[in-house]
């Protein structure tokens, strides 16, 4: 029996009964768009310099397993599963920018393939294909796909967990082992990234509209089991919540972040996308209201001959529910960051694909799809410029040091910044360029600390560590539009060092100082 037919069980409260579709055709489209998504995300991913969050991933992954587990007990436990994966990946493929980012590109391909299947199951193959195409180019998807963080894997896990749930509730009598698998999958999503557990909110829309009490009870039990299984990461996340206390000092919930940068990257795309999403919700709501006037409310607005809630209310809850919850919590304790909602961006693709599939004449739908792709391309190409990631220029710093330094010389860094922006991370993420240099301020390397970064001596203690070194390289932070720091400059001057060369970079300046 074709999957599209099987999922339309007699008691299903979710699946839209669209025209029959052949699983082989859907599988081909899912594979094609999944591979395309991986290629699009991977293309040019080696160009931007690594930045603070990625440095945390790369340095954590390069620890020994005992060292990594010791660190996770102190910080970053919510990213622990991803770090463990990346540990083994780096051992095999190395830690180049392309290598550490490529798993995320693969994850985006898996997510897009799932979006095609999910859209097809809920509203027909045309919706699935169009949603998949949109997902390939959405800026948040392509950003996740070129970053060495776990957000892309979290998004993929959530998509496929939703597919599993859709399949389960589409069966008249789902087997218990499917609910066990759902509980394990939910916990796995939590371990990939804690806030992805918020997917239970839109999943509630899927299940609680089901009139079968047994289905509701089974879902609630499975959800509770999944949360219990995720208990350790939840506990660590709460105990280590001080790590994100800095969010309280940022304007992370301004209207531009919420409306534009969170999912859509640029103003034009945000305008187009929100117009399509709001229209989709409005069209569905009108059709649903009209259907209720004729029936007892079991008609879905997807096609007019099926049960609610259908794709639109589910995807709308997926897109808007988790942000609403985080915003509410954020009013009490700072937890909101646009990256934390990355797992919700597939819902935007589904809503846009749902509407495009219904626009007539089709030439208008094609024009709108082209507009989405064209507007997305602006963000795509800006994501693949050398300083695209938080203005980081560590690759440029490494190239400068590698081209001009000599073995035996010393190296010092501006240590007066927050750890994620520290210039010394240029040495940790691009180590080959610093071979042979003496790290004067290093106290304890990152792999022997309880944190993910190096421990260094204060400036007052650095002077005594200069020894007989005659030439020192100093990398100071010079954020775009600001004056360079003077960290350690006065101390070096007191020891007779004078600046003999300057190499201004995008966000840092490299100085060479020598003394007689």
The string of pLDDT tens digits covering residues 45-68 is: 999 999 999 999 999 999 999 999
- Tell whether the model's pLDDT for residue 240 goes beyond 80: no
CA distance 335 to 359: 39
- Is 60 exceeded by the pLDDT of residue 11? no
Query: What is the predicted pLDDT for the residue at 318?
Result: 97
Q: Where residue 242 falls among pLDDT bands split at 50, 70, 90?
A: low
Return the pLDDT at 247: 58
Res. 486 pLDDT band, cuts 50 70 90: confident
pLDDT at 6: 34
Q: Which of 54, 109, 108 is nearest to 82 (CA)?
A: 54
pLDDT of residue 211: 72
Q: Tell me whether residue 363 is exposed, middle or buried, using C-beta atoms within 10 angstroms of its C-beta: 0 to 12, 13 to 18, 19 or more.
A: exposed
Q: Is the pLDDT of residue 270 over 80?
A: yes
| Model pLDDT, residue 296 | 47
- Supply the pTM of this predicted model: 0.92
Section 435-445 average pLDDT: 97
Q: Between the CA of residue 360 and those of 247, 354, 355, 482, what are the distances in Å?
A: 45, 13, 10, 52
pLDDT at position 89 is 98
What's the whole-number mean pLDDT along residues 71-98? 96
Q: Tell me the mean pLDDT in the region 317-321.
A: 96
> Residue 501: phi, psi to the nearest 5?
-155, 145
Q: Is the pLDDT confidence value at 173 over 70?
A: yes
pLDDT, position 295: 55
Q: Is the pLDDT of residue 4 over 50?
A: no
Q: What pLDDT score was predicted for residue 300?
A: 47
pLDDT at 288: 85
With CA atoms as reference, report the closest residue to 353 among 57, 120, 8, 516: 120
Please say whether the beta carbons of 4 and 170 come within 8 A: no
Percent of the chain exceeding pLDDT 70 equals: 91
Contact between 127 and 23 (Cβ < 8 Å): no
Q: Show Cβ contacts of residue 411 under 8 Å, excluding neighbours closer than 6 positions.
A: 401, 405, 427, 434, 437, 438, 439, 440, 472, 473, 475
Give the model's confidence band at 349: pLDDT under 50 very low, under 70 low, under 90 confident, else very high: very high
Sequence-ordered alpha helix ranges (H) in 8-96: 23-42, 52-61, 65-72, 80-93
Confidence of residue 20 (pLDDT cuts 50, 70, 90): low
| Cα distance between residue 467 and residue 98, in whole Å | 39
How high is the pLDDT of residue 18?
A: 45
Q: Comparing 59-63, 171-175, 194-198, which segment has the lowest mean pLDDT?
A: 171-175
- Mean per-residue pLDDT for 210-239? 92
Q: What is the DSSP letter of 175?
A: -
Q: Are strands 455-456 and 498-504 parallel, antiparallel or unpaired?
A: unpaired
Instruction: Return the DSSP state at 250.
Output: S
């Amino acid at each position: 029996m074709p999957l599209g037919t099987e999922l339309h069980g007699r008691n299903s409260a979710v699946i839209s009964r669209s025209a029959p579709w052949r699983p082989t055709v859907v599988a081909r489209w899912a594979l094609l768009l999944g591979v395309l998504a991986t290629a699009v995300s991977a293309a040019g991913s080696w160009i931007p310099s690594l930045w603070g969050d990625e440095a945390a991933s790369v340095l954590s992954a390069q620890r020994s397993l005992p060292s990594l587990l010791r660190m996770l007990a102190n910080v970053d436990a919510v990213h622990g599963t991803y770090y463990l994966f990346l540990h083994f990946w780096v051992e095999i493929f190395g830690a180049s920018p392309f290598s550490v980012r490529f798993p995320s590109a693969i994850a985006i391909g898996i997510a897009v393939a799932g979006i095609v299947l999910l859209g097809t199951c809920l509203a027909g193959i045309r919706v699935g294909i169009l949603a998949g195409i949109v997902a390939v180019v959405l800026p948040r998807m392509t950003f996740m796909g070129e970053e060495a963080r776990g957000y892309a894997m979290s998004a993929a896990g959530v998509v496929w967990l939703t597919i599993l749930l859709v399949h389960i509730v589409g069966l008249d009598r789902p087997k218990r082992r499917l609910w066990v698998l759902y509980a394990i999958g939910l916990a796995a999503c939590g371990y990939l990234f804690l806030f992805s557990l918020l997917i239970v909110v839109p999943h509630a829309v899927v299940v609680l509209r089901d009139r079968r009490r047994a289905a509701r009870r089974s879902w609630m039990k499975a959800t509770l089991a999944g949360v219990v299984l995720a208990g350790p990461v939840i506990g660590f996340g709460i105990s280590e919540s001080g790590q994100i206390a800095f969010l309280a000092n940022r304007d992370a919930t301004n209207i531009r972040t919420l409306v534009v940068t969170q999912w859509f990257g640029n103003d034009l795309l945000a305008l187009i996308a929100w117009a399509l999403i709001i229209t989709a919700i409005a069209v569905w709501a009108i059709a649903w209201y009209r259907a209720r006037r004729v029936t007892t409310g079991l008609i879905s607005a997807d096609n007019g001959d099926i049960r609610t809630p259908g794709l639109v209310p589910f995807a709308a809850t997926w897109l808007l529910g988790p942000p609403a919850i985080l915003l509410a919590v954020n009013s009490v304790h700072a937890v909101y960051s646009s990256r934390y909602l990355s797992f919700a961006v597939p819902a935007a693709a589904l809503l846009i694909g749902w509407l495009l599939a219904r626009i007539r004449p089709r030439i208008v739908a094609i024009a709108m799809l082209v507009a989405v792709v064209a507007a997305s391309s602006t963000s795509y190409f800006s994501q693949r410029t050398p300083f695209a990631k938080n203005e980081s220029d560590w690759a440029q710093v490494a190239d400068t040091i590698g081209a001009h330094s000599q073995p035996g010389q010393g190296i010092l860094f501006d240590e007066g910044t927050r750890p994620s922006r520290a210039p010394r991370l240029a040495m940790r993420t691009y180590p080959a360029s610093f071979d042979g240099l003496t790290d004067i301020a290093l106290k304890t390397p990152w792999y022997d600390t309880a944190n993910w970064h190096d421990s260094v001596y204060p400036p007052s203690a650095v002077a005594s560590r200069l020894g007989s070194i005659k030439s020192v390289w100093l990398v100071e932070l010079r954020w775009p539009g600001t004056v360079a720091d003077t960290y350690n400059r006065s101390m070096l001057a007191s020891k007779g060092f004078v600046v003999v060369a300057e190499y201004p970079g995008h966000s840092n300046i490299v100085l060479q100082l020598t003394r007689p």
